[in-house]
A and B are shown apart, each in its own frame.
Chain A
Amino acid sequence: MSKLKISCREANHVCDKNQYREATFWEKVKLNIHLIYCGICRKYSAKNNKLSKLFKTSNVEAMDYKSKEKLKSAFDRELAKHQ
């Protein structure tokens, strides 16, 4: 039984990972057992799921890392001319 019990800290970590589909099957089992008796983590879990859903429906976009770096170096060169 003790193998199935996890701390709140661990539970939150599994919950975070699960938002990105990175939690393993056993981790999810342990998380769900934890959620049965822990109201605080239940609340966090619900908020976390909601946040993920919001991001999914919003279709927000961001610039990818490489292009941003490129943009930054090009911009910095221009900026140097102005200062």
Chain B
Amino acid sequence: MPNHLINPNNWIKAYSDYLFNYTITRVNDRVIAQDLVSETFLAGLKSMKNFKGEASERTWLISILKRKIIDHYRKINSKKGKAEVRMSYNTGNEDEGDWMEERIADPFDKTAQDTMENSELGDAIYDCLAKLPEKQAEVFKMKTILNYETETICNELDITASNLWVIIHRARTALAECMKENWF
């Protein structure tokens, strides 16, 4: 008995931003990320009958996306030919007197950990956004993540400005409540 059902009708609305966010942190290019996401949805549609319902739809789509991202890197790597690593320790005179130690990663520079926390935070945000009513999530994402002007959003979605602020207020209250447990 499958525990999870598959319903491609709401894939785009429910998962496109989540998948996009997942991709953009890995390929760093909006156009490529969009292409990969759209390829993922199409591939998912084609192999829908292979969906066994063991994992949620979202997890299943992510597993397809992961393969697409790997394929993407394979493709650009074969284009480039073999990767070349060049390192010169003493190039110019300006560098003279530099210590090797200075070129080694600083253990107090916690960038890697920061990015990890960031991607966890991103996941938490998307989990909470998924709990909001569709319209609220959409308006909130446009305003907060995409930084669209109030006017632009009102025109696109055909709502009034006061309407928009009510939606934003509800979304912010709900999100703060949802994020509170782990991140506040």
Contact = CB atoms under 8 A, between A and B. Distances in A.
Interface in A22-49: 22, 44, 47-48
> Does more than half of chain A's interface fall in helix, strand or loop, or is it mixed?
helix
A71 B169 contact: no
> Does more than half of chain B's interface fall in helix, strand or loop, or is it mixed?
helix
B60 interface: no
A58 B122 contact: yes
Interface size range of chain B in the complex: 35 or more
B176 A60 contact: no
A16 B168 contact: yes
Interface of A: 12-13, 16-17, 19-20, 22, 44, 47-48, 50-52, 54-55, 57-65, 67-68, 71-72, 74-75, 78-79, 82
Interface of B: 8-9, 11-13, 16-17, 20-21, 24-25, 34, 37-38, 41-42, 45, 48, 118, 121-122, 125-126, 141-146, 148, 150, 156, 165, 168-169, 172-173, 175-176, 179-180, 183-184
